[in-house]
Amino acid sequence: MKINQKYKTIAIIIAVTAIIALVSIVIIMPLAATIAADSAALAQEKQKISDLLKEASQVKKSETFYRTQLKNIERIDKTFINSEAPIDFMTSLEDSAALSNVTIEVSPSQLPSSKTKELPILRSLGFQLIIEGLASECLKFLDRLEGSPYLIEIRSVNIVRVDQPDALKNPPGAASPSISKVKTTIVISAFINSNR
């Protein structure tokens, strides 16, 4: 009987070991595989969240940069004239002429085609300005024109001395250009914003 008891104990141990092995194969292994797959999916989701946070941070930085540069963009945009109604530009020219004590006539001008494409992106309108006044005042107007808030290019300047009445003429040898009356013809390009 002792042998029988011994075989019974061994049979129970083998049966319990087989049941444990069977349970581990049937239940624990799929559970472990599911946990591994879920862990991998969780790691992927964490990576996606990390990437989205980085992208959101980059968008925030871009938005902040845009907001800080918006004033500069608006200021640059104001340097271009409105091609459909250049009244503000012409009023600015007339105001500069009045401040310089010269008379001005503004008319459209056909610009000569440039063989060098310096600024192919920018389009421009041509204007011819005829200014009359004392030479020093015409130079003041030219200074104001160069310092105007508009993006312009002076294409040509032609200055001609205007005949003065005898009472205003300078004595021979004492010609002073500051009291000489001149007629100045200026051709300018005023750049327009193509996006307007």
- Looking at the predicted structure, is the pLDDT value of residue 3 above 80? no
Q: Verify that 92 and 185 share a domain, yes or no.
A: yes
Rounded to 10 degrees, the C-alpha dihedral 62/66/67/70 comes to 180
C-beta of residue 195 within 8 angstroms of C-beta of residue 123? no
Residue 78 has pLDDT above 90, yes or no: no
Domain endpoint, select from 78, 97, 129: 78
Give 81's DSSP letter.
Answer: B
Mean pLDDT of 138-163: 89
Distance of alpha carbon 64 from alpha carbon 56, whole angstroms: 12
What is the pLDDT at residue 57?
A: 92
Question: Are 163 and 106 part of one and the same domain?
Answer: yes
Q: How confident is the model at residue 52 (pLDDT cuts 50, 70, 90)?
A: very high
Q: Is the pTM higher than 0.85?
A: no
What lies within 8 Å, CB to CB, of 163 at 6+ separation is none
Separation CA 120–CA 183 (nearest Å): 33
pLDDT band of 34, cuts 50, 70, 90:
confident
Tokens of 9: 């104990």
**What value does the mean pLDDT take over residues 179-191?**
88
Q: 172 falls in which pLDDT band (50, 70, 90)?
A: low
More confident: 168 or 34: 34
Q: Are residues 47 and 112 in the same domain?
A: no
**What's the whole-number mean pLDDT along residues 116-120?**
53
Closest CA to 96 of 125, 54, 59, 133: 133
Q: Of 37, 58, 78, which residue constitutes the final position of a domain? A: 78
Contact by Cβ (8 Å): 104, 131: yes
**Which of these ranges, 131-135, 152-156, 170-174, has the smallest mean pLDDT?**
170-174
Question: Which CATH number does the domain housing residue 100 bear?
Answer: 3.30.70.60
DSSP state of 162: P
Domain termination residue (choose one: 29, 51, 78): 78
- pLDDT at position 73 over 90: no
Q: Which residues form the domain of 67?
A: 1-78
Whether the Cβ atoms of residue 126 and residue 111 lie closer than 8 Å to each other: yes
State the total domains in the chain. Answer: 2
**What does the pLDDT read at residue 176?**
54
- Centre a 10 Å sphere on the Cβ of residue 124 and count the other Cβ atoms it contains: 20
Segments in the chain forming alpha helices (H): 2-23, 29-78, 87-99, 135-146
Contact yes or no for 161/182 (Cβ under 8 A): yes
